[in-house]
Amino acid sequence: MAKLGPRRQVVFAQAVGQLAVLASTPVLSRLVPVGELGQYQIALALALALQPVATLRVDFVLPGVTDDHRARRLVTRAHLSGLILLLVALSAGGIFWVLGRQQLALIACCAGVLTVAYSWLALDGGEFLRARRLRALAVRNLVSGLAAAVLQCVVAVFAPTAVMLTVAIVLARFAAVLLSRKARDSDRRDKQVAPTMTKGDSVDPYPIRRMAPAVGTSLLDTLIMQSLVVVPGAALGSEAAGYAGMSQRITTSPASLIVGGLSQVAQSHVAEALREPGGRALQALRPSIKHLTLVAVVLGFSVAVIAPHLVVPVLGAAWSPLEVLLPITAPALAMQIVSLPLVPVAMVLRAETALLRLNIFRFIAIVGGTALVAAASGELVPTIIWWSVTTALGYAGQLWIVIASARRHDRAN
């Protein structure tokens, strides 16, 4: 990996780390009961849905912040927000426990802990992107995926519960941040990508008028994405959540092999273009759009046509409903691969208000519609069909906003 350039190291490390997560799926599916895995998936979905509030989307804007003092203040503010969410989740868990709802109590507590673990990782990555320490970011991506896969497999053997799966993820994230910070201290910056740091900048780079729509649109985005697990779980039970969650894990894990790295590279390219006089945002975006589209076509086809035939041999007969669910989720997966990684770029281009308007409509159509279909049909398949079709259309709208924002920036400069 040392022979690769910094940006390629980020993509390669992300691929290896996520490949380990994908490889652990057959182990978890055979050792962890569907109900326990369903509880964990619900907690994880809630934690991911709360990431915009836990991070205040500071991780999205950090690459464009040049003032050290203001950057530290933004990160501290975001960590405080995550801590508040943790306290709220633990309090809710305590209330549920007193009321005799032990399952809800465990889900609430696990969701709170996972929220902080993932927000810590996101903010850590934002700091690396800002300082252009891409090699340290690559180390973080690699360790995070490998440690998560190994630790979850270990706990699945000895204690296959939702709580222990949560503990494994927290330990993996802690190890990743610890090692990446050590690498960051010894990492040499590449002169061609190092940002100019200034002190005493009088302009707030992330005022409330930007933060509110940024957090709002990202919160709606993650709620929509996690509704694939949460809505079936609430309407149809934990087993439905387990099937939907495993479907999501299978479809998103291959994509995240490289999509996460490509998203970070896209942020790096656009942040550079914005700092340079006359920088062209759309030109900086085009390579990422091209690569993401290629990945979307290959993985979308694989999930729709090839993956259903491997469900029973790889996961076991208990997961046979995925033979039907995977082709249904393929269109949404393909559009998600192209659109979602570019949302942080839209934030850098100050398109958060346009995204917020779109996401309000998306939330009503996707989450509200999915809940209605689940309640009316009482079945998982029609519920997932509605979710997939409306989600794919919504991601197409997001992509249009990102491209239009880049063009608008280029015309103005």
3-state DSSP percent of the chain in helix, strand and coil, to 5: 85, 0, 15
Q: What is the DSSP letter of 202?
A: -
Residue that the structure tokens 């192209």 belong to:
338
Taking the C-alpha atoms of residue 89 and residue 105, their distance in angstroms, rounded to an integer, is 9
What are the start-end ranges of the H helices in 6-101? 6-23, 25-31, 34-49, 51-55, 58-61, 68-98
Ranges under pLDDT 50 in the chain: 188-201
358 φψ region: left (φ > 0), alpha (ψ -120 to 50), beta (else): alpha
- Check: CB of residue 110 under 8 Å from CB of residue 48: no
Q: Which ranges of 187-307 would DSSP assign to H, the alpha helix?
A: 208-236, 238-256, 259-275, 281-301
> What does the pLDDT read at residue 167?
92
Residue among 57, 115, 125 nearest 356 (CA): 57
* pTM, to two decimals: 0.70
Q: Are 346 and 206 in contact (CB under 8 A)?
A: no
DSSP 184-197: HHHPPPPTTTPPPP
CA distance 371 to 377: 10
Asked if 168 and 32 count as a contact pair (C-beta separation under 8 A), the reply is: no
Q: What is the reported pLDDT for 179?
A: 75
Count the alpha carbons within 13 Å of 76 in the hemisphere toward its beta carbon.
6
Domain coordinates in residue numbering, the chain: 1-206, 208-413
pLDDT tens, residue by residue, 174-198? 888 787 666 555 554 444 444 444 4
Contact 29, 315 (CB under 8 A): yes
> Which pLDDT value is given to residue 277?
63
d(CA 123, CA 130): 11
pLDDT in tens, 100-115: 898 899 999 999 999 9
- Please, which residues have CB within 8 angstroms of residue 356's CB and are 6 or more apart in sequence? 213, 216, 217, 220
pLDDT at 191: 41
Residue 274, pLDDT score? 66
DSSP for 253-272 reads HHHHTTHHHHHHHHHHHHHH
Coil, strand or helix at 67: strand
Neighbour-count burial of 225, counting CB atoms closer than 10 A to its CB (0-12 exposed, 13-18 middle, 19+ buried): buried
